[in-house]
Chains A and B, each alone.
Chain A
Amino acid sequence: MELDLATLADLFGRSFSLWWAIIPGIALGLAVGVLPGFSPQNTLIILLPVTLAMDVEAALAFMISLYCANHLSGGIPAILVNIPGSAGAAATCLDGYQMTKNGQAQQALVLSFVASVAGGLITSFAVLAILPYLAQLGLILRSVEMVVIILFGLTLIAVLAAKDMLKGLIGGAFGLMLGAIGTDQVYSTPRATFGFLELYDGLPLVPVLIGLFAVSECLVMLEEKFGTASVPTKAQRPQWADTLDGLRMCVRYWWQIVWTAFLGLAIGVIPGAGAYIASFVAYQQSRLYSKTPEKYGTGFPPGVLAPESANNGVTSGTLVPTMAIGIPGGSTAAVMMIVLQYQGITLGPRLFQDSPNIAYGVFVMMTVAYIMMIPLILPMARYASKVVAVPVQVIVPLILGLTVIGAFADREYIFDMALALGFGVIGYIAVKTNYHVTSILIGVLLGPIFERYLLRSLRIGQGDIMVLFSSPIANVLWVLLVISVVVPIWRERRLARRAVA
Chain B
Amino acid sequence: MQRQGSDPPPVGQELIIPVLAVGFTAYYFWTVQELAWEAKANGIVIGAILLVLVALLVFRLAWRVRRGQARLGVTLGGDAPTNRMRIALMAVMVGFLVALPLVGTSIALAVMLFASMWLLGERNWPTLIGVSVVTPLVVWATLIVILGTRFPLGPFEHAMAALFGLGPVD
Contact = CB atoms under 8 A, between A and B. Distances in A.
Interface of A: 31, 43, 46-47, 166-167, 169-171, 173-174, 176-178, 180-181, 184-187, 189-194, 218-219, 222-223, 225-229, 391-394, 396-398, 400-402, 404-405, 408-409, 412, 414, 417-418, 421, 424-426, 428-430, 432-435, 447, 450-451, 454-455, 458-459
B17 A397 contact: no
B151 interface: yes
B22 to A, nearest CB: 9
Interface of B: 13-14, 16-18, 20-21, 24-25, 27-28, 31-32, 35-36, 38-43, 46-47, 49-50, 53-54, 56-57, 60, 76-79, 81-82, 85-86, 89-90, 93-94, 96-97, 100-101, 105, 109, 112-113, 116-117, 120-122, 127, 131, 135, 139, 142-143, 147-152
Contacts of A178: 24
Given A170-B17, A191-B32, A455 B38 contact: yes
Contacts of B100: 414, 417
Given A167-B57, A396-B116, A412-B150, A223 B82 contact: yes
Given A426-B20, A433-B14, A405 B105 contact: yes
Contacts of A435: 17
Contacts of B20: 174, 426
Given A173-B21, A404-B93, A187 B46 contact: no
B117 A394 contact: yes
Given A46-B149, A191-B31, A400-B93, A177 B17 contact: no
A432 B120 contact: no
Given A396-B116, A397-B116, A170 B50 contact: yes
Contacts of B120: 222, 225, 392-393, 396-397
Contact of B112 (A43, A397, A426, A455): A397
Contact of A169 (B53, B82, B96): B53
B122 A391 contact: yes
Contact of A454 (B16, B35, B42, B122): B42
A434 B14 CA distance: 8
B79 A228 contact: yes
A180 B44 CA distance: 10
Given A166-B57, A170-B57, A191-B31, A226 B81 contact: yes
A176 B21 CA distance: 10
A184 B150 CA distance: 29
Contacts of B28: 177, 180-181, 191-192
Nearest to B49: A173
Nearest 3 A/B pairs, CB to CB: A397-B116, A184-B39, A393-B120
Nearest to B138: A402
B152 A46 contact: no
Contact of B147 (A46, A227, A414, A458): A46
Contacts of B148: 46
Given A222-B89, A393-B117, A180 B42 contact: yes
Nearest to A228: B79
Contacts of A433: 13-14, 16-17, 76
A39 to B, nearest CB: 12
Nearest to A186: B38
Contact of A186 (B36, B93, B152): B36
B110 to A, nearest CB: 9
A311 to B, nearest CB: 24
B57 A180 contact: no
A119 to B, nearest CB: 28
A398 B128 CA distance: 11
Contacts of A417: 97, 100
